Structure 1
């Protein structure tokens, strides 16, 4: 008997019994709403530990400074997307009309971007893009509570950057075939959802160096895509009118602030989706352990 009067066998011997004790908070006799409340509290606490908002702001800052120049050049060189990098931002924000034009005016035209780009500047932009992927890798490692990868694993970041550029090019290509036909929206939707799911699933596995199994990474990838869909609807309702009003009040700086705020939202959904997926996987593992016969 313990000091509280409970039998000692309740916790079970060894680490396995400790895990079951911790899982009982989520899958024990608590009501369903109580289990959900505890799960949300754990996600919130983990998010504070890994400084989720700080990482989202770092994602936006690094993305705007290091990744955007590379994407501008790649989009300009792509033969299937004449709108350039600005078209990607417009699609992501769900903009149209005057608000879309304000965003396009922020970036160079495709012809100008290609004419002013040298091999050295492209190489430098690629190196800066790798630093962006390194920040994403660090965020995923904090989500799964893993130690930092070795320095020579930078090749994973380079491949992840190439995968990101490739995914954006494929997403842009999806808007070209069968224009003005009923099949065009379905193609774009399938590419965005299916391609996004595969991209985030593969990127997590690549950056984490296979230290987390594929099955464990799937929930977070699916939740990230759903969160990005929600962000797009939010952008249509909030950011689109803000771009017009800020452009009238502050000029180009106002539009930059809105785009930067959207990038913060993208970073938050990327890391928060992975965080929620990690919590869901842990919950599933705890339930699986409880259903296993006692040894």
Structure 2
């Protein structure tokens, strides 16, 4: 008896599903599910809103002559239109007013959330690489990372990068690559080699560039419509959604980097084996 059409279709679908499951894409999907990538991104966005927003406002106010206001910096990072940047600008204090209203309690709160943010990023990297949590003595790494992050954001907000869009874009991408590469090395306590961490830094930078393009297409009109429908809180929700996307890119890029680090030697070995088999056939 001949198999029915449904049975043949089911068999082909099953083979295709097994092939995809055994492929690097399938292994990456299972790994992202095991790591709960979405939960990591949500935690990143929550702490990022409590840390990055006040930090960027303070950093912009520290250099009022050359630094951008936080609204301009965020609008540039989002890649949104001028009208949407105006909606973002209504949410934040002018840079000149920040230093006058900053209190010691605000700085202390920012430091606490900043260290918690560093711990969250470190925990995500440790899960991605399957490492045990670092000891409490390694908490100094969060302080160093937060300080370098502040300097990096200050550098990113200078007028020098703003006046040179082409050269500034290349410098911004290179500086982001170096910062992300170093961040993984520092927060993981040197337990992973530099060479193994480099693909993750590259994947994260590419993902951030893609997120910027996506933001210009989706978040720009969404900010305008949300501001009309919900007022300022609508803009905050869009920014929070963008931070979730940044979290997905940061941890997803590191996961893709580990996957590439593991899969490239396998692919190279398989390719060399196929070449060897062809040579043997040719000799035969």
Task: Settle same-fold status: TM greater than 0.5.
Answer: yes
What range is the shorter-chain TM-score in? 0.7 to 0.9
Q: Describe the shift of the 1:51–1:81 C-alpha distance in structure 2 as closer, same or farther (beyond 3 A).
A: farther
Secondary structure of 1:176's partner? Answer: helix
- Pairwise CA distance, 1:124: 2.6
The equivalent position to 2:258 in structure 1, one of 233, 253, 278, is: 278
Q: Is 2:83 the partner of 1:98?
A: yes
Q: Show the counterpart of 2:55.
A: 70
Q: In the aligned structure 2, how far is the partner of 1:82 from the partner of 1:185? A: 16
Q: TM-score, normalised by structure 1?
A: 0.81
Unaligned runs of 5+ in 1: 1-33
Which of the two has greater helix per residue?
Answer: 2
Q: In the aligned structure 2, how far is the partner of 1:138 from the partner of 1:88? A: 28
8 Å Cα contact 1:80-1:176 kept in structure 2: no
Q: Is 2:221 the partner of 1:241?
A: yes
The equivalent position to 1:230 in structure 2, one of 204, 210, 222, is: 210
- Pairwise CA distance, 1:35: 7.6
CA offsets 1:42-79 (integer angstroms, 9 cap, x no match): 11111111110111111111110233222211221124
8 Å Cα contact 1:67-1:125 kept in structure 2: no
Q: In the aligned structure 2, how far is the partner of 1:288 from the partner of 1:205? A: 26
Q: Show the counterpart of 1:31.
A: none
| Count of matched residue pairs | 256
Q: Show the counterpart of 2:160.
A: 176
Q: Is 2:190 the partner of 1:206?
A: no
CA offsets 1:117-151 (integer angstroms, 9 cap, x no match): 12342133122111101100000000100000001
What's the C-alpha RMSD, in Å, of the aligned pairs? 2.2
Q: In the aligned structure 2, how far is the partner of 1:288 from the partner of 1:216? A: 16
Q: Describe the shift of the 1:178–1:69 C-alpha distance in structure 2 as closer, same or farther (beyond 3 A).
A: closer
Q: Show the counterpart of 1:23.
A: none
Q: In the aligned structure 2, how far is the partner of 1:190 from the partner of 1:42? A: 33
Q: Show the counterpart of 2:13.
A: none
Unaligned runs of 5+ in 2: 1-18, 274-284
- Map 1:3-22; keep pairs closer than 5 Å: none
8 Å Cα contact 2:64-2:95 kept in structure 1: no
Q: In the aligned structure 1, how far is the partner of 2:266 from the partner of 2:160? A: 46
8 Å Cα contact 2:126-2:188 kept in structure 1: yes
8 Å Cα contact 1:171-1:188 kept in structure 2: no
